Structure 1
Amino acid sequence: MGHLTHDEFFARLTELFNARKGKDYGHIYLTQKRFSYEQQTEAKPTAENPFPELHPEKPLPLIIRATNGKSTTQAHTTEKVKVSTIVQPADLEAFYSRYAEVCRAGMSALKPRDRTKRKAKARKKNKGGGGGAAQPS
């Protein structure tokens, strides 16, 4: 599957967030990295730029990906969904403003993690001690 347009990407990202709304399980991974043209251009090292892949002449576009974490347990089997889009350097500001809106709206609808077990364990550890130095009387 190829890369989506920005509008298609935002629509699919919204669907991913809505699919997770109110559930006790599941993940959504958002990644971004520089899109390289290694296959399309062969930049040669020069005296001014010995590492052309690290310092390209023109800014490279970004690839933005979103995927759900496919659950491996029998009770939570879901189909893995991967979506990606390419963002040109000139479009970054407009893309990120809309990306932030979609992520903010989607994350506010997600159920927060239950951390009561971790907090109870930390409290028990702090109370139990007993092996410290003797207290002065």
Structure 2
Amino acid sequence: MGVLTHDAFFAKLTELFIGRRAKDHGAIYLTQKRYSYGQALPAPTPENPFPELHPASPVPLLIRATNGKGGEKKASKVKLSTLVEPADLEAFYGRYADVCKTGMSALKPRDRTKRKAKAKKKKVGVSQAV
């Protein structure tokens, strides 16, 4: 799947959160990075052997969302991505935060009682040995 428009990205991301809620397990990975593909790098010159590699103007961001390994079928893995221009960042992040908040509010936290009980048991055993 290629780069989606912002509206299509948010629609698919909402579907991804709803699908995870229905399955009652799984992970959703959200990543973002600078999109600097295709930008020309300055060449070193005798006067300036170490040119500045940081771009003079802001670069777009690539926002991705995936649903983990796909589990039982590779076909069930979903990869979403959209490209956000620097001028559109504020509006995009406002909507992105809303979609993520509503999607994550229904997800339940991991059950860590086994890990806590194991740590407590280990701590009690150490204090008795001393």
The verdict on a shared fold, with TM-score over 0.5 as the criterion, is yes
- Give the Å deviation of 1:25: 2.2
1:21 is paired with a residue of what secondary structure? helix
1:43 positional shift: 2.4
1:45 aligns with 2:43: yes
Report the 3-state secondary structure (helix = DSSP H, G, I; strand = E; otherwise coil) of the residue aligned with 1:36: coil
TM-score, structure 1 length as denominator? 0.82
CA distance in structure 1 between the partners assigned to 2:49 and 2:92 by the alignment: 33
Could you list the runs of 5+ residues in structure 2 that have no partner in the other structure?
Answer: none
Contact 1:64 1:86 survives alignment (8 Å): yes
Aligned to 1:68: 67
Deviations along 1:33-63, one digit per CA (max 9) or x if unpaired, are 000133xx422235397142xx102110000
Alignment partners' CA distance in 2, 1:48 and 1:96: 39
User: Which residue matches 1:96?
Assistant: 93
Give the match for residue 80 of structure 1: 77
Q: Distance in 2 between matches of 1:63 and 1:77?
A: 23
Give 5+ residue unaligned stretches, structure 1. 133-137
Aligned pairs, how many?
126
Q: Distance in 1 between matches of 2:66 and 2:85?
A: 21
Bigger radius of gyration among the two = 1
After superposition, residues 25-40 of structure 1 pair within 5 angstroms as 25-38=25-38
Q: Which residue of 2 aligns with 1:119?
A: 116
Sequence identity, in percent?
Answer: 63
Aligned CA RMSD, in angstroms, stands at 2.2
Q: Are residues 23 and 124 of structure 1, via their aligned partners in 2, closer, same or farther at CA, if it must alter by over 3 Å?
A: farther
Match of 2:8 in 1: 8
Shift of 1:22: 5.1
Corresponding letter in the other structure for 1:56: P
1:70-126 Cα offsets, whole Å, 9 max, x none, are 243x5x887000000000001111111111110010001112211111111111011
After superposition, residues 103-114 of structure 1 pair within 5 angstroms as 103-114=100-111
